Structure 1
Amino acid sequence: MGVRGLQGFVGSTCPHICTVVNLRDLAERHRSKHPGCSPTVVVDAMCCIRYWYTPESWVCGGQWREYFSALRNFVNAFAEVGIKLVFVFDGIVEQDKRDEWVKRRRKNSREISRIFQYIKSHGEQPGRHMFFIPPGLAVFTQLALKALGQEAHCSLQEADYEVASLGLQDGCLGVLGEDTDYLIYNTCPYLSIRELCLDTLDTVMLCREKLCESLCLSVTDLPLLACLLGNDVIPQGMFESFRYKCLSAYTSVKENLNKRGNVILAVADHIAKVLRLHQGEKKLEEMLPLGPNKALFYRGVASYLLPGQKSPWFFKKSKAVTTLDKQILSMSSDSESKQEVAMCTDPESKQEVSMCTDPESKQEVSMCTDPESKQEVPMCTDPESRQEVPMCTDPESRQEVPMYTDPEFKLEVPMCTDPDIKQVTMSSDPEIKQQVTPCSDPEIKHEVTMVSDPEILEVARAHHVWGESYLVYNVMSRGEIECSNTLEDELDQALPSQAFVYRPVRQRIYALLLGDGEDGTHSLAREVKEWFVYAGNPLKHPDLVRPLPMSVPGGTPSLKVLWLTQGPDVQARRFDVLLASFNLSSMQEDLQAVEGPLRALCCLLIYLFVQVDTLGLEDLQALIAQALCLQGKSTAQLVDLQLDHINPRAVQLGSLFVRGLTTLVFVNSACGFPLDMSDFMPWNIFDGKLFHQKYLQSEKGYSVEALLEQNRSLLMRFHSLKSVVVKACLRENRRIKSRQRWGSHHTGRWSRQGSGSQQPSSGYGRPGQGQPWRYPGPGRRQCEHDQWRRYSSSSGWSR
C-alpha cells in the first residue's frame, strides 16, 4: 500500500523523521490549548485489522470472542485518556485501483495454497509469518466497533482519502494506520499502528516536513514524487525508464543504500533541481515523459489533494492530447481556478464537453448541460468509475456513466427539513437508531443509477456511510461488488467455493434491490458485476451475474415498504423476504418455533446443507454443538482450548460457514433488519477452535452427549435444531447421511475431474455428465443459477 519503497527508505535513510510520541501527553497538551475540544485520532481501520487480530489461532475460521475482547481493550485504552476514535473502512474499490486489487488477490491466493500445503504436511497451523486474516474480518470489525459504541464510517471513495480529509478537522491529533500515502497527504501527523504500545500509548510519529527537508522538497511536491515513484494509481512500470535516467544523472549515489533508496533520492533531486527550475514557465507534460498517460498521471497527482488544497504543478494554459476510453481529451488549465480542464469530443454528437480535475474531490469532472434546467451538471468521466452516483445514460451506447458527487458529501448524509417528508428509522442497532430523512435536492432528481428512486438510494447511502449495511449500496449505486480471498483449498474441492454456494442468495437480493427501473427495465435483465476470488478465476473480468426472481408468499413488497414503514406486520413481511432469499418460505412455521437467537443459525444451516451435498451428518452435529457450547464458554476458556491437529477440510468448512454469516448481514440489511444483528455476529455464534474440536470429535464418532460436554440442558435444544434442519432438507429431497458411510471415493463433483478448477458457466451442468462447471472462455462472463440447484455428489447440479 502507498508509495513503492518509501517505507523501507524512511527506515534506512531518514530514521530521524520518526519520533516516539505518547498519545496521552499529546491529548493533555491539546486539551490545555483547546479547552472543551476533544482530541481525536482518525483510524484507517483497513490498515489496522491485521494488528488488532492478536488471537493465536487464525486458520480455523477466526477466534471471534477473543478478537472482540481485543477490540474492546483497544477502544478502552483511548477512552481512558479522553481520546475520541473515528474509524474509517473501505467502502469501494476505485476503478483506478482495480488492477492493484486484483494483483493482491492473486498474491493472497498463492499464500493460501502454501498454507494448505503446510497443514497437510504438518497437521498444524503455520506460524504467524504465514498469517492470513480470517474471512469477513473487516465486515465484522466494523460491526463490532459499532456494538462498542464507536463512530465507524464506511467510505464512498478511497478510504485513505477520507481518512486524510478527516485529519484536517480541528482537534485531530493524527491519523493512525500503516500506509506511506499518509506521508504524502498534507494532513495531520501520521501515527504508526505497527509501533503502537497499547499499555503506554507510545507510538511512532512520522513527520512529512522532516522528510521534505531530507529530500530538499516542499510538501506540495510530495504528490508529484509519489506518482513518479509509482503507487496504487500509477503502475510501477510507467516511469521505469525515467527513474533510470534520474538515477544515472544523480551524482550522490550512496553505496550503503539499496537501489530503491537511491532511486527515491534521484527522483527527488530531479524534481528539486530540474523540474522546479522551469516551474511556472514550462508545462509539466513538457518536462516529463507522460506520453499517452497524461490523464492518469494528472488524476494520480490530484488524488492527493484534499479539500481546499491545490497543486503548484498544475500550470496555466497547458495543453496535451491523449486518448482515454476511446474519447479525445484536450488538456488545458483554467487561468482563474488553476484547475485542470479537458475538452472531450463526443464521437456521436461532435460536441465538446468541458472536463476538469477538481483538486478537492480528486475526480475528473465533466460538465453537461441539463436540457430542462439549462444548468451545467458535473459528471464523472470514467464509465467504469466506482465513484458514487448520480449517473447519466448515453443514449447511443446505453452505458451508465456515474456523475460527480460533492466531496463534502462523502461522510455527511444530507438531511432535509421538509415537513412533508416522513423521517425514516432503519437501524440494526437498537441503541443507535439513526434518523434519516431522504433529501429532495432537485439535483438528485437527475440521478440515474442501478436504482432510480432517490429516496430509497438516500437511505441505502446513509446506512452504508454509517456502517450499518453490507454491499447493499454498492449494488444499488454501481451494480458492482467484490469479495476478497477465503481459506479455500484449490487442490481439494470436495467443498465448493463460497462464491458459488451463496450466489443464489445474492441473486435473489439483487432482484429485490434493483426492482423495476423507470425506463421499464426489469431487474432480472440487469447484471451485477461480481469480483469474487475462487480457484481458477483469473480476475481479468468480473462475473456478470443476473438477478433471480424471488417467490415471497403474498408477493414481494417494495423497498419503501420494507425500509420506510414500521409495525409488527411489516416486520413479519421482512422476515418473509429473508426466508424467500434463502428459498425457505415453506419452512416459515418451523423456523418461527425456533428460539430467536438461534433462528439465523438455523436458516444458514438449512441453506448450506440443501445447497452442498458433500456435507454430512458429522458436519451438522459439529456446527450445532459448537454454537450451543459457545454460550457457556468464557474468553479465557476459549484461549486455553487446545487441538490435537488441524484438519484442512475443517479449515475450509469453518471459512465457508463464516462467509455465510457475512451473507446474512447482506440479506438482513437488504430486507430491513428482520433479525437482530447480534444473533448472528460470530462472537455470539462461532468460534474457530471450538468448531474444529467438535469437528474432530464428530469425525471420530463421539456421541451427541460427548459433543455437548455432558451438558444435559443443551440436549433438547440440539435435537430441536437438528430436527428442523433435517426436516427442511428432506423437503428438498436431500438426505443428510453420515460421511463415514460414503467411503473415500465420495469427494464431490469437482475434486478429481478435469483440471480441478471450479469455474462459472453460462449454462447449467446436469447430473451424470461428469463435467465440472467450466469457464466458457475469455471476455465477458455471464453467470446465473436456476432457482434451487445445489452442489451435488453426483457430478452435477441437481434438484
Structure 2
Amino acid sequence: MGVGDLQTFLESPSLEGGAVSVDLLKIARNVTQRQQPHNTNRKIRPIGNKLKLIIDAENCLDRLYGGYFSDWACGGQWNRMVQFLSLLTRAIERGNIELAVVFNGTIEQCRMNEWVAEQANIRQRVGMVLKHINTKATPPPKIWWAPPTCLRSALRMALRHLGVTVMCTMDDHHQEVIAYCREYGFHGLLADDAEYAAFDPPRYFSAENLKLTYKGSVETKEYMISELTKTLKVTQEQVCIMAALLGNFLLPESDLQDLYKKLGLTKGENSAESNIKKLAEYVGTLPSPSNMDALVVAVFGIPEDKRASKFRQSVQYYLNGTASGFLKYCTPPTKSKKDKNKAQPQAPVSNEKDAANNVNVKTDDHDLDTSGFASETTEQEQETLQNYKQATAHSVVTSFDGLDVNLLKNINSGKFISINEPYSAVYKLSFIDDSPLSSDSSRFNGISNGSVGSVKSIPGSSGQRVNLLVGNSSSNTSENSKNSPNSGSGSQKAQKQSVSNNAVTPSVSPDVLRTASLRHQKGLMAPTILHVLSTQEVRLPCLMEDEGNREFPPIHDIYGPLRKRVYAVLFNLHHLRYVHAKKKESGELPENVPQPDILVKEWIYSRSNPYQYAEEVKAEPLPWAVPTLQRLWFGPSVDDKRRRMRALLSCLNSDTPLILNTAYVPQHMLIMACVLRYIMSQDRPIMRRHELDAFLCHAFNPNLMNPQYLQELTLNVVTSRGVQLAALFMEGVEMALLANDACGAPLPWLMCCPWLYFDGKLFHYTLTRSAHAKNILEVCENYIERVVKVERMRKAILEGLDVKFAKVPLPPFAGEKSRESFKFN
C-alpha cells in the first residue's frame, strides 16, 4: 500500500491507454502558440512554438547519467555522462524543445521517513554490489544500480555548462516543481511519481523511459491521467482523496489499517490494481472535498477522529497541486508553538554590527556589494574559460554524424555511442552579457558564470519566485518533525549526547541568506550550504563502502573534520570567539565563561545509530584569522581574493606553497590534488603508494577525456577496495565543492568539474597496472613527460606531510582463491 500504488496502476498494462509511447520531437513539431490558452495567472506566457518541458531529476538520475554503464560502480564515468548530455541537449535544441531540470534541494523534515527508507534501500543494493564484486570480481548487474557519489553535483555542472536551465527546490519539492510548471507555461512534466499523477500536470511524461535513440529521436511514454479517471470513474478531486487514503508522508498507511480492512484492501506485490479499483469505488461514494467536514465524517465516522487533521492536510496538499489549486499552495502545517519558539533563533538575523568589528576587515562589511560572489567577474570567467578549453583541448565527444554502427550497442538501454568530434563543437561558449556585475541577472543567471551564452535567466531572478522565499527556508524545513525519526526517544538521545554546554545559536546576515537562497535556487551552490545556514542540520547519504569489512574508517568520518571547518566558516566562529575574548578582556564577561561553540546536527548512518537521531558536532575554526562570511563572499579586494583561496585550502589541509603552483598542479586538477592531500594527511594511513600513483597517472592520461577509448577499454578485474577508494575520492570532491562554495568560490566552477580529472573505469584500469608495474614509467605507458607531471604533482600533494602509506597485504598461500588479495599483492 501507499500512494505509489497510484503510479503503479497508471503504468500497468491493465489500464488500457494509460501509458502511451511518444516521440517528444514529433510532439514539439505540433506545438504552436494557439495551443496554449491564455491564463491570466501566469507570470510568463509561452513564447514562440517551443515545447517546454520540466524534468524532475530525482526520478531519472540514471537516465541523465546516460543510462546503464556496466562500470558505474567504479566511481563514475563522467566524460561519458557529459557525452550523453551533449547529444541529448543537441537533439532537443534541434527539435525545438526547451528543458528545465529540477533537483531536490529541500531538507523536508516531514518526509524524513521517506529519506531514511530510500537510504536503507541504497545500503541494501550497495551490500549486494560489493558482495558480487568480492566473489566474482566483475561489474554488478544493472538491477542494483545506485547513483555514483557526487552524481547530482556533476549533473548540475554539466547541464549548466551545456546551457540547460537548472534549478533546486527549497521548501517542498513536489509543490514547487508543479507550481513552476504551471506558472511559467510549461507544456509538460517528466517524472515517475504518484504525487504528480494526483496533481494532474498539463501533460505527464515518463522520465524513467526517456531514451535518446540512434536515429536522433527522443522517446518516452506519456501517462494519460484522463484514462485513469475515466477507467476508475472518478474526478480529479477524487483522485486527490484516493492519494490521501493510500497513505503518504502526512497520513501514513499505518494509521489507516482499519479502513483498509473495512474495504478489503490487501498488501502485496500484485495487489495494487485491485486495491486501486476498490478504493476508487469507495471514494466515488464520498462527499466532495469542498465539504471537508462531511468528507471527514464519511471516512472516519466522527469529526473528532485523531486522524482527521492529517487527512484534511493530506487532501488539501494534493488539491493545492492541481490546476485550480496551485495558486492556493501553502506549506505543510508548522510545528507547535513551543517548537516554533525553539526554532526561532535560527531565522536570519543580521550580524553586520559584529562583522564590522572584525580585525581583518578594513571597511564595513555592510558597504560591500552583496548581489553576488565577488569572485565571479567577467575577466575571471573569461580566463577560466580559456583554461577550460586548454584542459579539454584533446578531449573527444560524439556526434550522430558518421557514427560507426558497430560501436552502437543498444543505446535504448543506456549503452554509449562513440565517434570523434572536438569538445569545442559542443562546448562553444560565448559571453553575451556585458551588463554590470552588480545586477542579479548577471551574477546568477548562469551566463557570466561561464555557462553557454544561450542560457536564459531563470524566471524569478528579480525577486519573483515560485514559493522560494528566503523567509520560508528556515521555518518550513522543520515542520512535521513528529513524522521524522528525530522525534520522541530519538530526540532525547540527541539531547543527552550534546557535545557542548556553551553552544550559541548563530545569527546569519540577511544578505548572506538572500545570496545563498538565490544561488541555491538556480543550482549554483551546494544545497548543503543553505541547509546549514537555515537549519543547522545536514543529511549525509549512504555511500559505496563495505560496512562489514573495513580497511579504512567510514568515509563520512574521514571528512568529518573538513565539514566542521566549513561550519565554522559559514557561522563566523573565529569572529564570535574573537569578540568573546575582547569582552573578557574588557570585563564585560567573567573570566571563567567558556568560549562559544556552534553545533550542527548531522544525520549520519552507523550501526549504533541507523538514522534514529541527529548527532551534534562542534564546528572547528581554521588556524588563522578568517574573515567573516560576508567578507569572504562579497569582498572585492586582492586580499579578499587571497583569503578566499586560503580558507578553501585550509579546510582541505592543503595550505602549502606548491599546491597553487600551476607548474606542479594544473588549475583544473587543484580539487583532485587537495582531496588526495587531505586523504594522505589522515592520522591513520589509508592509501597505498601504488594507489596514489594510480590516481595521478590516470588523471594525466590523454585518454581520460576520450569516451570512445573508455567505452572500448576492458577491465579484467574489478575490486572492492578499488570501488571504495573511488567512492572515498568522489566524496572528497563533493566535500571540496562544498568548501569552495562556503568560501566564496575562489576556484571557478569550471575548474571543479570531475570529468577534468577522474574516470572510474580508467582509474580501475590504471590501478591494476600500478599494482603489478615495475615502475611508474611503465604505468605511464613509457611516456616520460607524463612521469614528470605525476612526480611534480605528487611532490606538491605530499609537501610537508609525514607520509605514511597503508601496508600491502601479504600474498595469498598457493592455491588460495582470493582475487582481492591477488589484486593488491
State the TM bucket, normalised to the shorter chain: 0.7 to 0.9
Alignment of 1:704-723 (within 5 A): 704-723=776-795
1:489 has 2:546 as partner? yes
- SS of the residue corresponding to residue 333 of structure 2 reads strand
Of 215, 221, 226, the residue aligned with 1:204 is 221
Question: What SS class does the counterpart of residue 364 from structure 1 fall into?
Answer: coil
Tell me how far apart the structure 1 counterparts of residues 724 and 337 of structure 2 sit (CA, whole Å).
38
Partner of 2:423: none
Deviation at 1:596, TM superposition (A): 2.0
Q: Is the 8 A contact 1:299 1:362 kept in 2?
A: no
Deviation of 1:279 after TM superposition, in Å, equals 4.7
Distance 1:126 1:283 in 2: 50
SS in 2 for 1:362: coil
Answer whether contact 2:373 2:744 (CA < 8 A) is retained. Answer: no
Residue 77 (structure 1) aligns with = 91
**Alignment-derived partner of residue 498 in structure 1:** 555
For 2:178, what is the secondary structure of its paired residue? helix
Structure 1 residues 446 and 90 mapped into 2: Cα distance closer, same or farther (>3 Å)?
Answer: closer
Instruction: Provide the C-alpha distance between the structure 2 equivalents of 1:702 and 1:46, rounded to a whole number of angstroms.
Output: 45
Question: Is structure 2 residue 285 aligned with structure 1 residue 273?
Answer: yes
User: Corresponding residue for 1:329?
Assistant: none
**1:611-626 alignment runs, 5 A limit:** 611=682, 612-626=684-698
1:476 aligned onto 2:533: yes
Q: Deviations over 1:408-440 (max 9, x none)?
A: xxxxxxxxxx99976434577766874369989
Describe how 1:17-166 pairs up with structure 2 within 5 A.
17-31=18-32, 33=34, 36=48, 38-53=50-65, 54=67, 55-166=69-180
Deviates more, 1:260-269 or 1:33-42: 33-42
Q: Percent identity?
A: 22
Q: In the alignment, is the contact (CA less than 8 A) between 1:452 and 1:518 conserved in 2?
A: no
Partner residue of 1:602?
673
**Cα–Cα, structure 1 residues 309 and 278, in superposed 2: closer, same or farther, change >3 Å?**
closer
TM-superposition CA deviations, 1:304-323 (whole Å, max 9, x none): 24479677xxxxxxxxxxxx
- 3-state SS of the aligned residue for 2:734? helix
The TM-score, its normalising length taken from structure 2, stands at 0.72
**AA partner of residue 7 (structure 2):** Q
The whole-number CA distance in structure 2 between the counterparts of 1:245 and 1:440 is 48
Distance of 2:597 and 2:609 partners within structure 1: 24
Distance 1:131 1:420 in 2: 47
* Shift in alpha-carbon separation, 1:704–1:440, aligned structure 2, 3 A: same
Residues 1:589 and 1:682: Cα distance change in structure 2 (over 3 Å) = closer
Mapping of residues 391-406 of structure 1, within 5 Å: 394=341, 400=345
- Cα gap change, 1:176/1:486 in structure 2, threshold over 3 Å: closer, same or farther? same
Alignment pair present for 1:557 and 2:526: no
Aligned match of 2:274: 262
Select the structure with the greater relative contact order (CA < 8 A; seq sep ≥ 6). 2
Residue 201 of structure 2: SS of its match in structure 1?
Answer: coil
Cα distance in structure 1, aligned partners of 2:540 and 2:109 = 15
Q: Please give the residue correspondences for 1:690-729 in structure 2 after superposition, counting only pairs within 5 Å.
A: 690-729=762-801
Whole-angstrom CA distance in 1 between matches of 2:612 and 2:793: 43
SS in 1 for 2:72: coil
Paired residue type of 1:700: H
- The verdict on how the C-alpha distance between 1:630 and 1:680 changes in structure 2, with shifts beyond 3 A counting, is farther
Question: Hey, what does 2:451 align to over in structure 1?
Answer: none
Counterpart position of 2:641: 571
Contact 2:697–2:790, Cα closer than 8 Å, also in 1: yes
Of the structure 1 ranges 100-109 and 439-448, higher mean CA displacement relative to structure 2 is found in 439-448
* CA–CA distance in structure 1, aligned partners of residues 675 and 21 of structure 2: 48
- Which residue identity is paired with 2:177? V
Residues in 1 aligned to 2:316 and 2:94: alpha-carbon distance in whole angstroms: 39
CA distance in 2 between counterparts of 1:112 and 1:564 reads 42
1:274 Cα deviation after fit: 3.8
Q: Deviation of residue 285 (structure 1)?
A: 4.7
Alignment partners' CA distance in 1, 2:474 and 2:108: 20
1:172 aligns with 2:186: yes
SS of equivalent residue, structure 2 residue 524: coil
Q: Would you say 1:8 and 2:8 are equivalent positions?
A: yes
- The alpha carbon displacement at 1:569 in A equals 2.7
Q: Say if 2:659 and 2:670, in contact at 8 Å, map to a contact too.
A: no
| Aligned position for 1:226 | 243
- 1:461 corresponds to: 517
Deviations along 1:308-342, one digit per CA (max 9) or x if unpaired, are 9677xxxxxxxxxxxxxxxxxxxxxxxxxxxxxxx
> Could you tell me which amino acid in structure 1 is paired with residue 443 of structure 2?
Q
**Counterpart contact for 1:524–1:547, Cα < 8 Å:** no
Structure 1 position 645, deviation (Å): 0.7
Deviating more after overlay: 520-529 vs 665-674: 520-529
The Cα RMSD (Å) is 3.6
- How far off its partner does 1:113 sit? 1.2
Question: What is the one-letter code of the residue matched to 2:150?
Answer: G
* Kept in 2: contact 1:61–1:135 (CA 8 A): yes
Superposed counterparts of 1:240-251, under 5 Å: 240-247=257-264
Among 656, 661, 664, the residue aligned to 1:592 = 661
Decide whether the 8 Å contact of 1:574 with 1:673 is kept in 2.
Answer: yes
Question: Given the superposition, is the C-alpha separation of residues 383 and 133 from structure 1 closer, same or farther in structure 2, using an over 3 Å criterion?
Answer: farther
Deviation at 1:299, TM superposition (A): 2.8
Residues 72 and 440 (structure 1), Cα distance of their counterparts in 2 relative to 1, 3 Å cut: closer
TM-score by length of 1: 0.74
CA distance in 2 between counterparts of 1:549 and 1:419 reads: 26
Q: In the alignment, is the contact (CA less than 8 A) between 1:39 and 1:82 conserved in 2?
A: yes
**CA 1:383–1:228 in structure 2 vs 1: closer, same or farther (change >3 Å)?**
farther
Query: How far apart are the structure 1 equivalents of 2:23 and 2:141?
Result: 31
Give, in angstroms, the shift of residue 609 of structure 1.
0.8
The structure 2 residue matched to 1:540, chosen from 612, 617, 639, is 612
Q: Partner residue of 2:458?
A: none
From 736, 740, 754, the counterpart of 2:804: 736
The corresponding residue for 1:327 is none
Structure 1 residue 112: Cα displacement: 1.2
Q: What is the SS of the residue equivalent to 1:484?
A: coil
Q: Deviations over 1:716-744 (max 9, x none)?
A: 111111112233322xxxx2347338889
TM-aligned CA distance change 1:170 to 1:30, over 3 Å: farther
Find the residue that maps to 1:481 and give its secondary structure.
Answer: strand
Q: 1:185 to 1:239 in 2, by over 3 A?
A: same
Cα distance in 2 for residues equivalent to 1:118 and 1:135: 19
**Aligned partners of 1:694 and 1:218: how far apart in 2?**
59
Q: What does residue 364 of structure 1 align with? A: 333
Cα pair distance change 1:445/1:493, threshold 3 Å: closer
CA contact (8 A) 2:320 2:327 kept: no
CA contact (8 A) 1:302 1:362 kept: no
SS in 1 for 2:693: helix
- What secondary structure sits across from 2:550 in the alignment? coil
CA contact (8 A) 1:618 1:739 kept: no
Residues 708/28 of structure 1: CA separation in 2 closer, same or farther (3 Å cut)? same
8 Å Cα contact 2:601/2:615 also seen in 1 = yes
The size of the alignment, in residue pairs, is 649
Answer 1 or 2: which has greater helix percent.
Answer: 2
Q: 1:153/1:178 Cα in 2 relative to 1: closer, same or farther (>3 Å)? A: same
Alignment equivalent of 1:513, drawn from 570, 589, 596: 570
SS for the counterpart of 1:84 is strand
* 2:799 partner letter: K
Q: Check the 8 A contact 1:514/1:523 in 2, yes or no.
A: no
Gaps of 5+ in 1: 312-356, 366-379, 385-391, 404-417, 746-799
